[in-house]
Amino acid sequence: MNATDRKCVLIVDDSPENISIATNVLRDSYRTKVATNGFRALLLAEGEDKPDLILLDVVMPDLDGYEVCRRLKQNPATESIPVIFLTTQSSVEEETRGFECGAVDYIHKPFSPPIMRARVRAHLLAKEAQDFLHQQNEILERKVQQRTHELSTMQDVTIAALASLAETRDNETGNHIRRTQHYVKALAIELRDHPRFRETLTPDAIELLFKSAALHDIGKVGIPDAILLKPGRLTEDEFEIMKRHTTLGRDAIDVAAAGLDFEVAFLRFAQEITYSHQEKWDGSGYPLGIGGDDVPISARLMAVADVYDALISRRVYKEPMPHRDAVEVISAGSGSHFDPDIVDAFLNIADAFYAIAQRYADAEHKLVL
């Protein structure tokens, strides 16, 4: 083994005799460095060629071994270096104090060469094993992060593909999907500290809501063009068919989730939003006619986002409404169509909705304030 490949032991003692003994005991197996006071020991420990283990005298002038050990353990650059105290003291109290400072062992003076070699070797092997486990954990963590990123990207691609499929059936909606995603996220952020919503609207949940919101109209792929693209008002029978898009979307997502033996959070939100975003706070919506808190929070958020965007957008059957008029419609629907607390949040950030609508406006549509 080359000298530079050997483990390095820093010997800290103010006695030249003790340094000489320790150096002679270890020099055949290890590289050694020497410090005759605590301050020098800290400098060497923090240097580029860090020691792999420190033999540290307890009783030294200016800075004793306990204080040196405490400072080593408080410094992220040196906290993992094992420290073995060298001492003439053998009381339980003194040894306890040393272990509380972060030492891993004691070697009592006068030194026994076999004991010193054995304990240095044992703690270097333990440190080597610890470093290996730490390295493996870092490798595993990187793999987990990479896999998580891959899964998240797969989710994004899958959602984008499905949302685009729905968009091709209803090309009048333009950037409607993208706008509603951002509306939902903005509302969720505004409500995340509200007592009624804080348990649900965690940072992770908000990101999943943003993703899932893109699928709210996926069920429209199952609605005939004659109804989906009809320029005039739908008949009662046609409207009943149009209402099926909520169930069709929910069922499609159910089929996708059925093959999994675990719950996928973004699919759960997608199911809720797709199936229930047409429900109303007063129970007059569809498909189930449920109301109040029975309507999932995700769907209640989407209800406000979806209606606002429908109001300000051009459709084959209507002209776009100015932003301020759309805000009044949403406000008027508080307690009937919409959850009152969500409407209050909407009114607080109505300017943000307008900014989102401008940012993702359809090419042929100039938003009116």
User: What is this structure's pTM?
Assistant: 0.60
Phi first, then psi: give them for residue 156, nearest 5 degrees. Answer: -60, -45
| b/e 287-320 (16+ beta carbons within 10 angstroms → b) | eeebbeeebbbbbbbbbbbbbbbbbbbeeeeeeb
The percent of the chain in helix, strand and coil, each rounded to the nearest 5, is: 60, 10, 30
List, in order of start, the domains of the chain with CATH numbers.
3-139 (3.40.50.2300), 170-359 (1.10.3210.10)
At residue 313, the 3 state secondary structure works out as: coil
Q: What is the pLDDT of residues 140-182, one digit of tens each?
A: 888 888 877 666 666 666 666 566 666 655 555 558 888 999 9
Q: What is the pLDDT along the chain (369 residues), one digit of tens a residue?
A: 555 678 999 999 999 999 999 999 999 999 999 999 999 999 999 988 999 999 999 999 889 999 999 999 999 999 999 999 998 877 888 888 989 999 999 999 888 999 999 999 999 999 999 888 888 988 888 888 887 766 666 666 666 656 666 665 555 555 888 899 999 999 999 999 999 999 999 999 999 999 889 888 888 888 888 888 788 888 999 999 999 999 998 988 888 777 666 667 778 898 999 999 999 999 999 999 999 999 999 999 999 999 999 999 887 667 889 999 999 999 999 999 999 999 999 999 999 999 999 998 876 656 666
**Closest-CA residue to 219 (of 184, 179, 180, 254):** 254
The rounded distance, in Å, linking the Cα atoms of 358 and 351 is 11
The rounded distance, in Å, linking the Cα atoms of 313 and 320 is 5
Per-residue model confidence (pLDDT) at position 222: 85
Task: Return the sign of the alpha-carbon dihedral for residues 30, 33, 36, 38.
Answer: negative
Per-residue model confidence (pLDDT) at position 33: 95
The rounded distance, in Å, linking the Cα atoms of 52 and 129 is 13
